[in-house]
Amino acid sequence: MLQALRDTLPANRWIRLVLLAIVLGVIFTPWLFDGTRALDTAARLSIFVVLAASYDLLLGFTGVVSFAHALFFGIGAYAVAIAFDHFAPGFGVLLVAIVAGLGVSLLVAFIMGLVSLRVKTIFYAMITLAVASAATVLVSQLYHLTGGEDGLTYRIPKVLTPAFKLLDDKVFGVRVNGKLMNFYLVVFSSIVLFLIMVRIVASPFGRVLKALRENDFRAQAIGYNTLAYRTTATLLSAAFATLAGVLMALWLRYTGPESVLSLDIMIDVLLMVVIGGMGTLYGAIIGATVLMLAQSYLQGLMGNAQDVIGGVPILSELMAPDRWLLWLGLLFIASVYFFPQGVVGRFSGPAPKEATT
Amino acid sequence: MTTHTTTPVLETRELSVQFGGHVAVNRVSCRFDSGTLTAIVGPNGAGKTTYFNLISGQLPATEGEVRLRGRVLGGRSAAHRARAGLGRAFQLTQLFPRLSVADNLRLVVQAKLGLGFRFWQPASHLIAVDREVEALLERVDLAGRAEVPASQLSHGGQRRLEVGMMLALDPEVMMFDEPTAGMSLDEAPVVLNLIRSIKEAGEKTILLVEHKMDVIRSLADRIIVLNNGTLLADGEPAEVMSLPSVRQAYLGESGEGAT
């Protein structure tokens, strides 16, 4: 594992420090930050790191553009939601749900891959978009199974709920209850999933994926069956997204189209990967952090800013908390403009300006 | 011409491809034996690269067949043919531009050893691969540039890497498409000497598309001449170059032999 980390970690020391700070910050959130909001942000952040990293496996490493990634996330989440909606919440049921979710995801990914990975990138992208849209419609139509637009609210194993008390005393001021257990289940599962992806990227297989992205034609000419590799990458990526969806369903105790299946999620993930740096895997951590923090706290921050500059006519209008999406948009444009290779891509690897011949 | 009692390593029979009404390669039948270097010459547009593409599977043939050690390759993919022993170096350099020079070679060695579907082992633990890559880097004179992205090599360096990738794949049949195109006078010999050394080892079947006559004279055992997609002549260099039809089609039109 250490070897895989050594081979893949960005060379830049500052990026490494930032990554370490984010990981430690998430792990110690219950002690570092107050309130359920911080805990919720940290848990979602972990899940989105897995989701974004699994998307990077496809987009950044293999060069496959898919818009169906949120679909696999949704399949994982709905598998758990439907299972817990119908059966008493227990870990056996959860296991069955995970297996079923993975099965459905892999099947869908495999069919999509077979039908369309042969064709050019843009057609694959469009087919995935079509399948993803169809799935969204399907979920809202299958009301009895999925709860339609309202989604499903369900009970999860009691060990993972606030009602379950593990210790009577607080540990350094933090209540050790099921909620905390749930939090660490999510965080550590995410870390394990991420490390597995690191391992895959550092493997001979990962090397071939990069070759596909760089020059598919050449990869074939030296004997790689590129269709098989691309399909495998699609399956792997779908599997990780599904598992991220499972974690999301466990954490939220609610699953609905808006929270796991919508195009918004897809766009968020795309932005996380692009902002963090495609083809770096670690970019997913940075990208997800930037986006989650912005989504969770930008509105509040702008509220404060408005209070400070309340008197200034146009500026205070711009700083109104309702305008937070505008600022988020500007942030994206700026980041893509200044860091076209993403944060991690920009600060690691050979800088293009030092090119020698 | 010599009679063949054994199965040739590579053979094309009536190999043809048609683009719309244009026949780019027209019923070309040819045998290539082990340990020989065959130069394929002909004016621009004669179908040399297309002939290569048909053999190595980048392009499906409309008619005819390609046989490797007597087995018909039929609709086999380029990847399958590469694994079966048909190696191809390209006229327009085809590298993995953003990967390092060493990684370009590692990918080929890894492909040859069939290690691509290993998901768990760190790639950097493939000591055998790295050792082979080191030797290859020395051979193509790129040892000092191992960690540089391939796109940052000079043109000559990229061509050497291209040849290095062929050496790394170590296929039975090696097809070089103008390996010295665009190289400077002092760079070209490095590549040509590499090809010569492969030939002298005597184990490979080498096909070489080349324009420079002096190169062909010094390297080739045999020349085949393509013109408008058809096989115009086939034989020993001196013999072929003296044929009137060849002189007219090839030397007459592009006597300078450049491109």
| Tens of pLDDT, residues B160-178 | 999 999 999 999 999 999 9
- Min Cα distance A220 → chain B (Å) is 5
- When pLDDT is averaged across residues B146-152 and rounded to a whole number, the result is 93
**Residues of A with CB below 8 A from B78's CB?**
220-221
Contact call for B116 and A205, based on CB within 8 A: yes
Q: Which of B5, B3, B52 is nearest to B24 (CA)?
A: B52
Residue A356 has pLDDT above 80, yes or no: no
Collect all residues from A whose CB is shorter than 8 A from any CB in B: 3-4, 7, 199-200, 202-208, 210-211, 214-215, 217-226, 229, 232, 350, 355-357
Interchain CB distance below 8 Å, B154 and A200: no
pLDDT at B186 over 90: no
**Which residues on adjacent β-strands are paired with residue B23?**
B18
Out of B94, B122, B153, the one facing A4 most closely (by C-beta) is B122
Q: Taking CB atoms and an 8 Å limit, are B124 and A3 in contact across chains?
A: yes
Answer positive or negative: Cα dihedral of B167, B168, B172, B174: negative
Torsions phi, psi for A35 (to 5 deg): 90, 160
Per the DSSP assignment, residues forming a β-bridge with A177 are: A165
More confident residue, B36 or B75: B36
The number of C-beta contacts closer than 8 angstroms across A and B is: 109
pLDDT recorded at residue A352:
40
- The amino acid that residue A53 corresponds to is A
Residue-averaged pLDDT of chain B = 88
Using the beta-carbon criterion (under 8 Å), do A215 and B94 form an inter-chain contact? yes
Task: Give the pLDDT score at A121.
Answer: 76
Q: Are B111 and B125 in contact (CB under 8 A)?
A: no
Residue B118 near chain A (CB below 8 Å)? yes
- Return the beta strands (E) in B73-204 as ranges: 86-89, 173-177
What local confidence, expressed as pLDDT, does residue A6 receive?
85
Whole-angstrom Cα distance, residue B36 to residue B207?
8
Shortest alpha-carbon distance between residue A100 and chain B (Å): 23
Binary contact (B94, A225; C-beta < 8 A): no
Per-residue confidence (pLDDT) for residue A92, from 0 to 100: 93
How far is Cα B64 from Cα A116, in angstroms, rounded to an integer? 30
Q: Is it the case that residue B252 has pLDDT exceeding 70? A: no
pLDDT of residue B241: 82
Q: Give me the pLDDT at residue A32, please.
A: 92
- Look up residue B257 and give its DSSP letter: -
Q: Which domains does chain A have, with CATH numbers?
A: 2-348 (1.10.3470)
Three-state SS at B213: helix
- The mean pLDDT of chain A is 89
pLDDT band at A354 (very low <50, low <70, confident <90, very high): very low
* CB environment A176-202: b (16+ within 10 A), e (fewer): bbbbbbbbebbbebbbebbebbbbbbb
Across the interface, do B110 and A204 touch by the CB < 8 Å criterion? yes
pLDDT exceeds 90 at position A52? yes
Sort out which chain A residues have CB atoms less than 8 A from B86's CB and list them: none
Asked if residue A108 lies in contact with residue A134, where contact means CB atoms within 8 angstroms, the answer is no
Q: Taking CB atoms and an 8 Å cutoff, what residues of chain A touch B124?
A: 3, 7, 202
What pLDDT, on the 0 to 100 scale, is given for residue A333?
A: 86
| B4/chain A closest Cα distance in angstroms | 30
CB pair distance less than 8 Å for A220 and B78: yes
Give dist(CA B58, CA B39) in Å, integer. 20
Question: What kind and span of H or E run contains B19?
Answer: strand B10-19
Inter-CA distances, B19 with A136, B47, B50, B55, B170, Å: 44, 12, 11, 17, 32
Q: Which residues 137-196 on chain B approach chain A with CB closer than 8 angstroms?
A: 148-149, 152-154, 165, 169
Distance from CA of A357 to the nearest CA of B (A): 6
Element (H, E) at A97: helix A91-116
> Mapping DSSP to helix (H, G, I), strand (E, B) and coil, where does residue B5 land?
coil
Chain B: nearest CA to A96, how far in angstroms? 26
Residue of B nearest to A199 (CA): B120
Find the CB nearest B83 among A211, A219, A223. Answer: A223
Q: How far apart are the CA of B246 and the nearest CA of chain A, in angstroms? A: 32
Q: What is the pLDDT of residue A340?
A: 81
Predicted pLDDT at B98: 92
Contact at CB, A207 and B107, closer than 8 angstroms = yes
Answer yes or no: do A204 and B115 touch at CB < 8 A.
yes
> What's the mean pLDDT in A53-79?
95
pLDDT band of B14, cuts 50, 70, 90:
very high
- Do B94 and A207 count as a contact with CB atoms less than 8 A apart? no
Residues A311-330 have a mean pLDDT of 78
> Nearest CB to A223: which of B79, B148, B152?
B79
Domain boundaries, chain B: 1-85+171-182+204-259, 95-170
B99: CB partners within 8 A, 6+ apart: A210, A211, A214, B107, B149, B150
What pLDDT, on a 0 to 100 scale, did the predictor assign at position A351? 40
Q: B174: distance to nearest CA of chain A, Å?
A: 12
Of B96, B122, B153, nearest to A215 by CB-CB distance is: B96
Give the one of A208, A223, A357 whose C-beta lies nearest to B82's C-beta: A223
Residue whose structure tokens are 């444009």: A333
User: Do the Cβ atoms of B207 and B40 come closer than 8 Å?
Assistant: yes
ipTM of the complex, rounded to two decimals? 0.88
Contact A50, A278 (CB under 8 A): no
Q: How large is the average pLDDT for residues A147-153?
A: 91
From the list B96, B106, B154, which residue is nearest A218 (CB)? Answer: B96
pLDDT band at B250 (very low <50, low <70, confident <90, very high): low
In terms of C-beta distances under 8 Å and separation of at least 24 residues, what long-range contacts does B136-145 make, across chains too? B136/B105, B136/B109, B136/B164, B136/B167, B136/B168, B137/B101, B137/B102, B137/B105, B137/B164, B139/B164, B139/B167, B139/B194, B140/B164, B140/B167, B140/B190, B140/B194, B141/B190, B142/B101, B145/B101
Cα–Cα distances in angstroms (integers) from residue A308 to residues A321, A322, A328, in the given order: 13, 16, 20
Identify all chain B residues contacting A219, using CB atoms and an 8 Å cutoff.
79, 96, 107
Cα B179 → chain centroid? 8
Task: Kindly state the tokens that stand for B184.
Answer: 């400077």
Q: Percent of chain B, pLDDT > 90? A: 61
Comparing A45-54, B32-41, B93-102, B116-125, the range with the smallest average pLDDT is: B116-125
- Taking the CA of residue A191 and the nearest CA in chain B, the distance in Å comes to 17
Q: Is the pLDDT of residue A350 over 90?
A: no
Q: Inter-chain contact A211–B107, Cβ cutoff 8 Å?
A: yes
Superfamily of domain B1-85+171-182+204-259: P-loop containing nucleotide triphosphate hydrolases (3.40.50.300)
Q: For residue B14, what are its two tokens?
A: 């009536």
Residue A328 pLDDT > 60, yes or no? yes
Which residue in B has a C-alpha nearest to residue A7's C-alpha?
B124
Please indicate whether, in this complex, the C-beta atoms of A219 and B107 are within 8 angstroms of each other. yes
- pLDDT reported for residue B174: 96
pLDDT tier, A138 (very low <50, low <70, confident <90, very high otherwise):
very high
CA dihedral A131, A236, A277, A190 (to 10 degrees): 110
A207: closest CA of chain B, how far (Å): 7
Decide if A4 and B83 are in contact by the 8 Å CB cutoff.
no
Q: How confident is the model at residue B258 (pLDDT cuts 50, 70, 90)?
A: very low
Q: What are the residue ranges of helices labelled H in B202-236?
A: 213-219
List pLDDT tens digits, range A274-308.
989 999 999 999 999 999 998 888 878 887 887 77
Does residue A247 register a pLDDT over 70? yes
Residue A120 DSSP SS3: coil
| Measured CA angle at B56 (ends A203, B33), to 5 deg | 115
